[in-house]
Amino acid sequence: MKELLDDVDRWRAKGVRVAVARVVDIEGSGPREPGAAMAVSAEGEVVGSVSGGCVEGAVVSEALRLLGGERSPGVVSFGYSDDEAFAVGLTCGGTIRLFLEELDW
Amino acid sequence: MSLYDLLSQRLRAELPVALATVIEGPALDGTTPGGTVLNGRLVVTDSDEVSGTLGDPELDRVVARDARAELEAGRSGIRHYGPQGQTTPEDLVGSSTIRVFIESWSPPPQMWIFGAVDFTAALAKVAKVLGYRVTVCDAREIFATRRRFPMADEVRVTWPSPMFAERGGSLTSRDAVCILTHDPKFDVPAIAGALATEVGYIGVMGSRKTHAKRLERLAEAGVDQPQDLDRLMSPIGLDLGARTPEETAISICAEIIARRTGRSATSLRATSGPIHA
């Protein structure tokens, strides 16, 4: 989160809405620890990362859907071992769960 | 001040802070029927200060207590609670479960580097990449300057003993002391000072021959307990064949990581089992 602050502050100061996705849980082999985070502005700017680059693209589209009112905040899973998991997998074969929300607090 | 402002202020000041967020659970306040109380958030510090709410005062109290424990341990993870903060399995039977992600940020680990030499600048640089708060110490005023070590958080002109007397108590198992001086006047008191702390890593630069001689001098100074000497990583660093100050810095930092994780520091290709333990 710390490495996101400068960009997030800049976006918030301009009144641009911001979504943030944080790793809350990892099963099996995961490249990043809980707390790894990325933020996406409503203008499509991105900062931070939540995996080794495997799922960032999918996180950006979910974040933009959230800001567009097309989905609710909540837990998003990526990986192969979970029925609800998105099609995008992790190259390392594990599952990560992210919590996606708007940073409106 | 918003919760985010409070959080970001603490993070920027490198002060301990934890953020607890309800990530799954039933509606507690009735405003989001059937849904999750996703507005539930607490910002907790190491003092008694708590801001925000998860929707129930008792839940807030229990989560704040757990967040402080996570903060002390420097951990982040998901905890489960009943709607009023119940945590025992019996109390949770038949009640809905609230999943709370507690993320904690502790101040960065410290690295103290004794000796303002060429290797110091490279080590300070690599340690910064790894998130350490770096202090460079040397008793020689002309060498221990900010201009030579702009990457360090702090440059102190001091002998080791006063430095340890003043701040040795702040060193924990997450921290590292690297002694690069090669000078017995300096490294013997630095080693003795470091051994008297809880610091997790003590590395001392020098060849095997230097190390053998240093052990004699340490013995003369009364430092001869096997369990103490066993803490010294000397010669310092992993066997990477490092030559330059930068390569040596990588070998030292890689050794610090391997000591912390308890891993073998061999190529993954030559080992089996999970990569991320």
pLDDT of amino acid A93: 63
Output A30 or B111, whichever has higher pLDDT: B111
A58 touches chain B (CB under 8 A): no
Which residue among A34, A74, A103 sits closest to B76, beta carbon to beta carbon? A34
**What is chain A's percent helix, strand, coil content, to nearest 5?**
25, 30, 45
B23/A99 touch (CB, cutoff 8 Å), yes or no: yes
Q: Is the pLDDT of residue B38 over 60?
A: no
A27 touches chain B (CB under 8 A): no
Burial label, B98 (beta-carbon count in 10 A; 0-12, 13-18, 19+): buried
**CA–CA separation, A96 vs A52, rounded Å?**
12
Ranking A5-19, A69-83, B74-88, B254-268 by mean pLDDT, the lowest is A69-83
A24 touches chain B (CB under 8 A): yes
Element (H, E) at A8: helix A5-13
Residue B190 DSSP class: H
Which residue among A8, A9, A35 sits closest to B76, beta carbon to beta carbon? A35
In chain B, domain spans: 3-105, 110-261
A85 touches chain B (CB under 8 A): no
pLDDT confidence of B88, banded at 50, 70, 90?
confident
Q: Is the pLDDT of residue A86 over 60?
A: no
B4/A74 touch (CB, cutoff 8 Å), yes or no: no
**CA–CA separation, B231 vs B235, rounded Å?**
12
Question: How many Å lie between the alpha carbon of A30 and the closest alpha carbon of chain B?
Answer: 7
Strands laid side by side in the A18-27 sheet: A46-48, A37-41, A18-27, A95-102, A74-78
pLDDT of amino acid B40: 86
Mean pLDDT of B1-20: 92
B21/A31 touch (CB, cutoff 8 Å), yes or no: no
**What is chain B's percent helix, strand, coil content, to nearest 5?**
35, 20, 45
Which residue among B12, B52, B274 sits closest to A5, beta carbon to beta carbon? B12
B26-31: Cβ within 8 A, 24+ apart: B26/B83, B26/B96, B26/B98, B28/B54, B28/B55, B28/B56, B28/B59, B28/B83, B28/B98, B29/B55
B103/A22 touch (CB, cutoff 8 Å), yes or no: yes
A35 touches chain B (CB under 8 A): yes
Q: Is the pLDDT of residue A69 over 60?
A: yes
Residues of chain A neighbouring B128 (CB-CB closer than 8 A) = none
Q: Is the pLDDT of residue B255 over 50?
A: yes
Mean pLDDT of A17-33: 86
Q: Residue A4's closest CA among B105, B109, B257?
A: B105
> Could you tell me which CATH class the domain B110-261 is placed in?
alpha beta
Output A63 or B174, whichever has higher pLDDT: A63
pLDDT confidence of B254, banded at 50, 70, 90?
very high
pLDDT confidence of B274, banded at 50, 70, 90?
confident
Q: Residue B100's closest CA among A25, A72, A95?
A: A25
Q: Taking CA atoms, what residue in B is nearest to A5?
A: B8
Residues of chain A neighbouring B103 (CB-CB closer than 8 A) = 1, 22, 34-35
Mean pLDDT of B199-212: 94
Residue A59 near residue A40, CB atoms below 8 Å: yes
Q: Is the pLDDT of residue B36 over 90?
A: no
Q: H helices of chain B, where? A: 3-12, 57-73, 89-92, 118-129, 160-167, 184-195, 208-220, 226-229, 245-261
**CA–CA separation, A76 vs A21, rounded Å?**
9
Mean pLDDT of B165-186: 92
pLDDT confidence of B33, banded at 50, 70, 90?
very low
Mind spelling out the 3-state secondary structure of B96-131?
A: CCEEEEEEEECCCCEEEEECCCHHHHHHHHHHHHCC
Residues of chain A neighbouring B27 (CB-CB closer than 8 A) = none
Residue B43 near residue B17, CB atoms below 8 Å: yes
- Reported ipTM: 0.88
Which residue among A26, A75, A103 sits closest to B4, beta carbon to beta carbon? A103
**CA–CA separation, B231 vs B156, rounded Å?**
25
Q: Which pair of structure tokens corresponds to residue B273?
A: 């089992």
pLDDT of amino acid A46: 96
Q: Which pair of structure tokens corresponds to residue A9?
A: 């502050």
The tens digit of pLDDT for each residue in A48-60 reads 998 877 788 999 9
Which residue among B2, B11, B23 sits closest to A24, beta carbon to beta carbon? B23
Element (H, E) at A11: helix A5-13
pLDDT of amino acid A89: 55
Residues of chain A neighbouring B21 (CB-CB closer than 8 A) = 99, 101
Output B110 or B14, whichever has higher pLDDT: B110
Rounded to 5 degrees, φ, ψ at B45 are -115, 180
The tens digit of pLDDT for each residue in B219-250 reads 999 999 999 999 999 999 999 999 999 999 99
Residues of chain A neighbouring B105 (CB-CB closer than 8 A) = 1-2
Question: How many Å lie between the alpha carbon of B95 and the closest alpha carbon of chain A?
Answer: 21
Rounded to 5 degrees, φ, ψ at B128 are -65, -40
**CA–CA separation, A55 vs A48, rounded Å?**
12
Residues of chain B neighbouring A1 (CB-CB closer than 8 A) = 7, 11, 19, 103, 105
**CA–CA separation, B249 vs B166, rounded Å?**
27
Residues of chain A neighbouring B101 (CB-CB closer than 8 A) = 22, 24, 34, 99
Kindly report the CA angle at B71 between A22 and B9, in degrees rounded to 5?
Answer: 65
